[in-house]
């Protein structure tokens, strides 16, 4: 659940020009902030970093901000003086933006503007609802009975999967229905960083965007990501690697291969990983004699925690780790940004599936083994 709400990371989305004093290209909003307090306006440069553009003062409970001209759409950021609640994001597109900014609860901000600003509002409202539901779901996963109650754990895993699927469906439909929108590029960036969609799916959604959307700085970064990650996409040969076992010996992926091989990126500190382990153990015990091998790649920091988790969870398969946390070179090679993360290989070492869990993973293993 940790990375469920990565809101518009790696943005770099702006295509802006000079300022425009036309009254139709302004942001005018009421704001419940202290009279005379500052509101800072920034855009993002090509590297995705905020670039200050203007400062306006609250007057009579309102702000009036001239916006830059743009030949496409731009993302604006408002930060309130002495306010630690976050920022206000909006899309400007040479149209007047009006509404209300709630200083004490920025998530309730309501700004109406062009079609793409309205689309951003729709997406933000959806994320706010999802965030509340996600917190409630996370609380259920803290139930200490889960370790002793596999049925309850399985039920929660299904609930989590349904939660993720609902969010994924919403994002994909919004992108497909708005191919020329900057918001679609933002959402696709989110999906990429959350690492829950296959590369072919990301590529298909990206190719469905307009040329202008693809040509934004963020669009170009997505294109680079796709090109880089095709090496570990489904249908590609899994890159070989070598690392140390708990016994201090070198072990390569090639040495650990079976008729079917699962590369399992995990860590002792990763609660979702530990909750998924009983399912993987059950599957391994069922199919190991028929040709299933597993090699666990740990993103742990210390050997003691790594070895203890292997023993506690009874993970009786191959294990390697560089003990470098998120700087693990194998994780970087496979573009792993969240765990658990899995790659399922056929007997030739070709990646046939990624990030399957529970029954879906077992079904695919059974299929590959001819069961």
Report CA-CA distances (Å) from 274 to 85, 102, 277, 341.
Answer: 33, 41, 5, 12
Same domain, 61 and 93: yes
Q: What is the pLDDT of residue 157?
A: 87
In a domain, residue 12? The reply is: no
Same domain, 331 and 280: yes
Query: Which pair of tokens denotes residue 25?
Result: 């290209």
Same domain, 111 and 198: no
Same domain, 253 and 312: yes
What contacts 24+ positions apart, CB below 8 Å, involve 49-58?
A: 50/77, 58/31, 58/33, 58/34
- Which of the listed residues 88, 116, 144 is the one where a domain comes to its end? 116
Same domain, 364 and 246: yes
Same domain, 171 and 155: yes
Same domain, 269 and 283: yes
Q: Among 97, 96, 91, 109, which Cα is nearest to 44's?
A: 91
- Which of the listed residues 203, 232, 261 is the one where a domain comes to its end? 232
Tens-digit pLDDT profile for residues 200-211: 899 999 999 999
In a domain, residue 38? The reply is: yes
Same domain, 129 and 108: no
In a domain, residue 204? The reply is: yes
**Contact predicate 305/266, CB 8 Å:** no
Same domain, 334 and 260: yes
User: In terms of pTM, does the model score above 0.85?
Assistant: no
Same domain, 265 and 358: yes
In a domain, residue 212? The reply is: yes
Percentage of the chain beyond pLDDT 90 is 71
What does the alpha-carbon distance between residue 216 and residue 186 come to, in Å, rounded to a whole number?
A: 10
Q: What is the pLDDT of residue 23?
A: 53
Same domain, 247 and 346: yes
In a domain, residue 19? The reply is: no
In a domain, residue 237? The reply is: no
- Residue where the block lists tokens 């990501």: 225
In a domain, residue 13? The reply is: no
**Contact predicate 86/75, CB 8 Å:** no
State the total domains in the chain: 3
What does the alpha-carbon distance between residue 67 and residue 25 come to, in Å, rounded to a whole number?
A: 6
Same domain, 254 and 361: yes
In a domain, residue 11? The reply is: no
**Contact predicate 117/91, CB 8 Å:** yes
| CATH number assigned to the domain comprising residue 74 | 2.60.40.180
Range of the domain at 289: 242-368
- Which of the listed residues 116, 151, 172 is the one where a domain comes to its end? 116
Q: What is the pLDDT of residue 358?
A: 87
pLDDT tens across the length of the chain (371 residues): 433 334 444 333 333 333 344 457 899 999 999 999 999 999 987 777 889 999 999 999 999 999 999 999 999 999 999 898 889 999 999 999 999 999 988 888 999 999 999 999 999 999 989 999 999 998 888 888 877 888 888 888 899 889 989 999 999 999 999 999 999 999 999 998 887 788 889 999 999 999 999 999 899 999 988 887 888 888 889 999 999 999 999 999 999 999 999 999 999 999 999 999 999 999 999 999 999 999 999 999 999 999 999 999 999 999 999 999 999 999 999 989 899 999 999 999 999 999 998 899 999 999 999 87
- The chain-wide mean pLDDT, for the chain, equals 89
């Amino acid at each position: 659940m940790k990375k469920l709400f990565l809101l518009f990371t790696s943005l770099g989305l702006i295509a802006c020009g000079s300022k425009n004093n036309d009254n139709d290209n302004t942001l005018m909003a009421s704001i419940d902030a202290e009279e005379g307090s500052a509101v800072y306006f920034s855009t993002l440069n090509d590297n995705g970093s905020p670039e200050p553009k203007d400062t306006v003062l609250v007057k009579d409970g309102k702000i009036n901000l001239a916006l830059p001209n743009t030949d496409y759409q731009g993302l604006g950021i408002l930060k309130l003086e002495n306010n630690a609640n976050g920022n206000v994001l909006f899309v400007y597109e040479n149209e007047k933006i009006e509404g209300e900014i709630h200083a004490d609860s920025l998530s309730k901000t309501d700004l109406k503007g062009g079609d793409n600003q309205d689309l951003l509002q729709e997406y933000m409202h959806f994320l706010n609802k999802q965030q509340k539901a996600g917190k409630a779901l996370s609380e259920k996963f803290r139930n200490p009975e889960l370790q002793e109650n596999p049925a309850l754990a399985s039920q929660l895993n299904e609930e989590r999967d349904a939660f993720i699927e609902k969010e994924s469906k919403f994002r994909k439909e919004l992108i497909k229905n708005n191919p020329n929108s900057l918001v679609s590029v933002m959402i696709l960036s989110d999906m990429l960083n959350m690492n829950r969609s296959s590369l072919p799916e990301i590529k298909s959604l990206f190719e469905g965007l307009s040329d202008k959307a693809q040509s934004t700085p963020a669009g170009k970064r997505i294109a680079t990501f796709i090109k880089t990650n095709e090496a570990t996409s489904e249908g590609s040969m899994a890159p070989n690697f070598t690392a140390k076992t708990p016994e201090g010996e070198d072990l390569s992926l090639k040495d650990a291969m079976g008729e079917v091989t699962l590369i399992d990126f995990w860590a002792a500190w990763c609660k979702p990983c530990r909750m998924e382990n009983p399912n993987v153990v059950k599957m391994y015990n069922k199919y190991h004699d028929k040709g299933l091998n597993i090699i666990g790649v740990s993103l742990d920091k210390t050997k003691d925690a790594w070895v203890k988790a292997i023993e506690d969870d009874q993970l009786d398969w191959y294990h390697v780790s560089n003990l470098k946390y998120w700087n693990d070179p194998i994780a970087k090679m496979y573009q792993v940004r969240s765990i658990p993360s899995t790659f399922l290989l056929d007997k030739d070492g070709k990646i046939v599936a990624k990030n399957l869990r529970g029954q879906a993973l077992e079904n695919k293993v059974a299929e590959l083994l001819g069961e």
